Chains A and B, each alone.
Chain A
Amino acid sequence: MNWIIRLGNLTINFISLQGNSVILCLMTLMAFVKIPKRFGLFIKQLFAIGVLSISIIIVSGLFVGMVLSLQGYNTLVNFGAEESLGVVVALSLLRELSPVVGALLFAGRAGSSLTAEIGLMKATEQISAMEMMAIDPIEYILAPRLLAGIIALPLLIALFSLVGIYGGALVAIDYLGVDNGAFWSQMQAQVDIQHDLMSGMIKSVVFGFVVTWIAIYQGYSCIPTSEGVSRATTHTVVFASLAVLGLDFVLTAAML
C-alpha cells in the first residue's frame, strides 16, 4: 500500500508544481501591462540578459559557422557540389543551429543568473520585504525579466546567425577557395524568407519565453537557503536545455 501512497503523493506534487508555474507565468504575463510605468527596470534587465550575453553569442556563432563550413566542404567536395556550401551553412544555421545553440547558451548564461538572482532575493527576504511595502514582486521583479528574455533572445539569435554565416563565408571563400559569387547567389536563391528565416525567428521567440519562464519560476519558488538556490540554478539549466531540445522537435514538425 505504501508505494501507492507515495506514487499518489508524487503525482499530486508534480501536477501542483506544473500548475504553480503556469499560474506564475500567467500572473507575470498579466503584469506586462504595468511595465511602461517602470520602463527603467525593463531596460536594466534587457542589459543584464541581452547585452552581457552578446560576447558569448558572437564568439560561438563565429566558430559554429566556421566549423559548419569546414565540415560541409569535406562532404560536398566529394560530389563536386561545393558551390552549395552557402546553402548548407545558411539553412542549417537559420533553421536549427542558431535557435537551438543560442537558446542553450542563453539558458546557461542568462537563465542561471536570473534564477540565482531571484533565489538570493528570496533567501535574503527582499521579496517578503517588498510584499510588506505593498510592492507586487511579480510586477517589480518577474515581469521585466520575462519580457526582456522574450525580446533579447531573438535579437541574440539574429546576431548569432549573421556572424555564423559570415564566419562560414570567411572559411569557405578565403580558406577553402569556394567561389564568392556562387556561395552567396546559391544561398540567396535557395533560402526562403518565410520557411527558413521566419521559422527560425519564431522558434527563438518561443525559446526565449520558455527559458526565461523556467528561470524565473525556479528562482521564485526555490527553497530560500544556499543549497536551495544552487539546486534551483542547476534545475534551470537542465530543464531549460531539455525543454529547448524537445520543443525544437515539436516546432520543427509543426512548421515544416
Chain B
Amino acid sequence: MNSKWVEFTTGIFTISGIVALIVLVFQSTNFSHMIGSDVYKITASFDNVSGLKERSAVSVGGVKVGRVSQIDIDKDSYEAVVTIEIDKQYDQIPEDSSLSVFTAGLLGEKYIGMQIGGAPDFLKEGSHINLTQSSIVLEKLISQFLFSQSEKK
C-alpha cells in the first residue's frame, strides 16, 4: 500500500465519521426543532395539564403546528399557564380557537389539540387563549364512574 492510498482512505474515514455525526444530529435528535425556529408564542391557561411536558406537540387535526415551550403556574389564579410556540407558516389561526389536552393512544404521549374557531382575527405573538379543556385524569374518571354506579343501587 502506498502512502497516497493510506492518506486518501484515512481522509475518507475522517470525513465519513464527521458526516455520520452530523446526520445523527439532524436525523435522530431534536436539534432540527431547536434551530431555524421561526415561531410566534401564545399562552393558554388550563385547570389541569397533568402529563403534558415541555416539547409536547400542538396539532390541528393531527398536523403538528407547534410545540409547548414552557409550563408555569399563574401566581394569582393557580391555573397552569402553558406557553406554546407555533410555526410562523401557520399564522392564520382564528383568535377564538380552543385547546384541549389529549392522549395519543391509550398509554401514549399527551399533546394539545387545537379546535379552529371562526373569528376574523388571527392569533399573534402574545395572544392568550382562555377556551381550554383540561387533560383527563384517569383516576378522577374512574372514581366518578364508581360513585355513579354505587348511587344507582
Determine whether B3 belongs to the interface, using a CB cutoff of 8 Å to chain A.
yes
Closest to A196 in B: B29
Say yes or no for B32: interface residue by CB 8 A criterion. yes
- Is A133's beta carbon under 8 Å from chain B? no
A94-B24, A156-B17, A158-B21 known; A188-B7 Cβ under 8 A: no
CB-CB contacts below 8 Å: B94-132 with A: 105-108
State which of B8-16, B37-45, B74-82, B143-151 sits at the interface with chain A: B8-16
Whether B17 contacts A193 by the Cβ 8 Å rule is: no
A187 within 8 A of B: yes
Interface residue B31 (Cβ < 8 Å from any Cβ of A): yes
> Which B residues are in CB contact (< 8 Å) with A190?
30
Shortest CB-to-CB span from B65 to chain A, Å, is 14
CB distance from A58 to the nearest CB of B (A): 10
Tell me how far the C-beta of B61 lies from the nearest C-beta in chain A, rounded to whole angstroms.
15
Q: Which residues, 5 to 47 on A, are CB-close (under 8 Å) to B?
A: 40, 43-44, 46-47
Say if the beta carbon of A50 comes within 8 Å of chain B.
Answer: yes
Question: Does any Cβ of A come within 8 Å of B60's Cβ?
Answer: no
**Majority secondary structure of chain A interface residues (helix, strand, loop or mixed):** helix
What residue of chain B has the Cβ atom nearest to residue A151's Cβ?
A: B14
**Is A159 part of the contact surface with B, judged by Cβ < 8 Å?**
yes
Closest to A98 in B: B24
Determine whether the beta carbon of B25 is less than 8 Å from that of A193: yes
CB atoms of A43 and B10 under 8 A apart:
yes
- B57 contacts which of A50, A94, A154, A189 (Cβ < 8 Å)? A189
How far is B121's CA from A50's CA once the two chains are assembled, in angstroms? Answer: 60
Taking CB atoms, residues of chain A closer than 8 Å to B25 are: 193, 197
Q: How large is the interface on B (under 10, 10 to 19, 20 to 34, 35 or more residues)?
A: 20 to 34
Question: Is A188's CB under 8 angstroms from B28's CB?
Answer: yes
Instruction: Classify the interface of chain B: helix, strand, loop or mixed.
Output: helix
Q: Is B73 an interface residue (CB 8 A)?
A: no
Contact B13 A162 (CB under 8 A): no
Residues of A near B21 (CB, < 8 A) are: 155, 158, 201
> A47-B9, A189-B55 in contact; A159/B17 too (CB < 8 A)?
yes
Q: Are the C-beta atoms of B28 and A165 separated by less than 8 Å?
A: yes
Q: Is the CB of B6 within 8 A of A161?
A: no
Are B10 and A51 neighbours in the complex by a CB distance under 8 Å?
yes
Asked if B27 lies at the interface with its beta carbon under 8 angstroms from chain A, I say: yes
- A239 interfacial contact with B, CB 8 Å: no
Instruction: Indicate whether A105 reaches chain B with its CB closer than 8 angstroms.
Output: no
Query: Is the beta-carbon distance between B20 and A158 smaller than 8 angstroms?
Result: yes
A243 at the interface (CB under 8 A from B): no
- For residue B137, CB closer than 8 A to chain A, the reply is no
- In chain A, positions 43-97 with a C-beta closer than 8 Å to chain B are 43-44, 46-47, 50-51, 54, 79-81, 83, 90, 94
A-B contact pairs, 24 of them (CB 8 A): A43-B10, A44-B3, A46-B13, A47-B10, A50-B10, A51-B13, A80-B105, A80-B107, A81-B107, A81-B108, A94-B24, A151-B14, A155-B20, A158-B21, A159-B16, A161-B20, A161-B24, A162-B20, A188-B29, A189-B55, A190-B30, A191-B28, A191-B29, A201-B21
A-B pairs with lowest CB-CB distance, top 6: A155-B17, A158-B20, A193-B29, A162-B20, A158-B21, A51-B13
